[in-house]
Structure 1
Amino acid sequence: MQRRLTTQQALEMILREVDPCDSDGEDLQVQPDSDSELSDQSSDEETASAPKKRACLGTETAKDGTVWREEQLPDKFGIKFWVACDLKSKYICNVFPYLGKDPSRPTGERLSENVVMRLMEPFLDKGRNVTTDNFFTSLSLAQKLLRRKTTILGTVNKIRREIPQSTRQTDRNEFTTQVFSTSAATLTAYAAKRKKTVYILSSMHGVVQTDNTTKRKPNTVTLYNKTKCGVDVMDQMVREYTVRRGTRRWPVAVFYNMIDMAALNAHVLYQACSGTKERRVDFLVELARELAHSHVAAKKARKEQLPLTQPSTPSPGKRAMLL
């Protein structure tokens, strides 16, 4: 009798076969995959919201007598992936899906902190820096990472309890900077506009300095702007050439996503190992040809009842070996 698995059981079975990979870069960026098809979360949540049906918010009659109904769009839903990638090469260093409430997570630990520590586990105690967005960044996370010789740089939500009350004022003079410091990190409040303040938490900056331009931008904000785009650019590269097709089966959707990410990593490794620059689209075409040729040859060998170890069956190509 065939055994039926739940979504969480199947994904956990897949993850048991995956090992974290290393990276040659110094900076890692951690954030949820922007193509996860889930609405952005602004606070720690235990479970993903279920899709909602469209709700009618009201009706309005036009001058010609046409009755229009205002409807509420349904929330995005799907499978969320937590991703850490190298800033320079866009190599995906670590990734795992969000499976809802995790019973192994310690009591009292925030979901965001647990995610970052799990993603960064292979790279801790190596003097690296991780850039995060305001969903992950917190003072307690900075302290945990600092104990493991890892620094953090990221935007922080002003509603966090550890943020001083004096920094939460909304009306500031344009291009002004306010700096707070503790033993573990520094907090920079920079007013890019009069009523728009950016909060940057950093455990790698002991001193915050502003440049000599008109905007007088602090060095913490400048560095964050340079390092914040790792996951977003990686996601854009993955979706530019994708094998995804419309499907209602979640295992197939997850498989498509895994193939896209594996192909991107294979391209990065191929260029690093061979020392040659090759357009990604050309690499993917050759990769598909090598995989198809190997599969067709193996299928032909089985049809002819020949052992696969015979020389007549070609070995996978150099690109296919990187998958």
Structure 2
Amino acid sequence: MRALLGLLVLSAYLKSNHLSSKELFDEKNLWCCIQGSHESPSSYVTIDEQLLGFRGRCPFRMYIPNKLSKYGIKIVLVCDVSSKYMFDAMPYLGKSTNTNGSSRNITMDNWFTSIKLADDLLAPPYNLTMVGTIRKNKRDIPPEMLATKNRDPGSSKFCFDKEKVLVSYTPKKNKNVLLLSTMHEGCSVSKTSGNPEIIETYNQTKGSVDTLDQMCSNMSYNRSPSQDVL
């Protein structure tokens, strides 16, 4: 089974997935014998969305102009930060879409992040901390965290509410970014970069879904039924 899986990965990498299974590995019933094992994610995971190109009829097909495919089905993915392994995914069907998890930290962008979500994730049964950028139009954000006038580049403002930490960081004059964390405490700043540790954590853990997306676009495992007849 390991040899077969290795051959399938190799065929995707070499763009030779048009070959039949018989040509790849002449052994009967292997497909029926394959059983997936559950990957155990590390302490840091990333949640993000991927657009699978699709132009057929579908009630939840979306149009996202800044994506390569533009039309398709949005998939919400959870990927392990260290291995980039995708261990959970579901199609986005609207605001009623639900996601789950437990005892880990989730990194997310401002499409997901909100004060309410941070509180909900901390509570049972999820028990999750989170780090994420947050949009400036959220009503919970104090006006002082939005102001950029007379702020020096590289400066940070912190706001605290129970387990939540909100940081307003000014990367350059008259511009700031906001990040929310339930993982960090205090006003910790990296001695090396001068950035708040919340930003350091976000930058180190945000890219696993993007890496998976890039890998998926470069490699295809698609096979027609006629290729898989042994």
CA deviations over 1:29-79 (Å, ceiling 9, x no partner)? 11111x4459xxxxxxxx766699xxxxxxxxxxxxxxxxxxxxxx93221
Q: Does residue 146 of the first structure (1) align with residue 140 of the second (2)?
A: no
Structure 2 unaligned blocks of 5 or more? 1-35, 55-59
Q: After superposition, what is the alpha-carbon deviation per residue over 1:256-284, rounded to whole angstroms, capped at 9, x for unaligned?
A: 5xx8xxxxxxxxxxxxxxxxxxxxxxxxx
**Distance (whole Å) between structure 2 residues aligned to residue 190 and residue 137 of structure 1:** 17
- Alpha-carbon distance, 1:219 to partner: 0.6
Alignment-mate amino acid for residue 191 of structure 1: T
Paired with 1:173 and 1:180, the residues of 2 have a C-alpha distance of 18
**1:212 is matched with which residue: 180, 188, 191?**
191
Which residue does the alignment assign to 1:241?
219
Taking only aligned residues, the RMSD between alpha carbons, in angstroms, comes to: 2.9
Q: How big is each residue's C-alpha offset from its partner over 1:232-261, in whole Å with a ceiling of 9 and x where there is no partner?
A: 011111112124xxxxxxxxxxxx5xx8xx
Instruction: Give the alignment partner of residue 137 of structure 1, picking from 113, 128, 136.
Output: 113
**Which residue of structure 2 aligns with residue 228 of structure 1?**
206
State the distance in 1 between where 2:154 and 2:53 align: 36
With normalisation by structure 1, the TM-score equals 0.51
Distance 1:50 1:141, change over 3 A: closer
Q: 1:208-237 CA deviation, whole Å, 9 max, x = no partner?
A: 311234x52111111110000010011111
Partners of 1:187 and 1:174 lie apart in 2 by: 18
Residues 179-206 of structure 1 deviation map (CA, whole Å, 9 limit, x = unaligned): 0000131001111111221111000111
More strand by share: 2
C-alpha distance in structure 2 between counterparts of 1:240 and 1:51, whole Å: 20
Task: Identify the match of residue 24 of structure 1 among 8, 26, 41.
Answer: 41
Amino acid corresponding to residue 46 of structure 2 in structure 1: Q
Provide the rounded CA distance (Å) in 1 between the counterparts of 2:189 and 2:64: 46
- Which is bigger in relative contact order (C-alpha 8 A, separation at least 6)? 2
Give the whole-Å Cα distance in 1 for the aligned partners of 2:142 and 2:112. Answer: 18
Residue among 114, 117, 135 paired with 1:157: 135
Partner of 2:21 in structure 1?
A: none
The number of residues matched between the two structures is: 182
Where in structure 1 are there 5+ consecutive unaligned residues? 1-18, 39-46, 53-74, 102-110, 244-255, 260-291, 298-323
| Percent of paired sites with the same residue | 31
TM-score, reference length from structure 2: 0.70
The equivalent residue for 1:185 is: 164
Matched, 1:197 2:176: yes
Cα separation, partners in 2 of 1:51 and 1:138, compared to 1, 3 Å: closer
Following TM superposition, the consecutive aligned residue runs of length 4 or more in structure 1 with deviations greater than 3 angstroms are 35-38, 47-52
Q: Which residue type is aligned with residue 138 of structure 1?
A: S
- Displacement of 1:130 in angstroms is 0.4
Residues 36 and 193 (structure 1), Cα distance of their counterparts in 2 relative to 1, 3 Å cut: farther
Q: 2:147 aligns with which of 140, 150, 169?
A: 169
Q: Could you tell me how far apart the structure 2 residues matched to 1:223 and 1:206 are?
A: 13
- Greater per-residue helix proportion: 1
CA distance 1:210–1:240, change in 2 (3 Å): same
Maintained 8 Å contact 2:62/2:72: no
* 1:112-161 alpha-carbon deviations (Å, 9 max, x no partner): xx64xx33x2x32xx21000000101111110111132100010011111
Which SS does the other structure have where 2:89 is aligned? strand
Asked if residue 82 in structure 1 is aligned to residue 76 in structure 2, the reply is: yes
Of structures 1 and 2, the larger Rg is shown by: 1
Does the aligned pair in 2 maintain the 1:23–1:91 contact within 8 Å? no
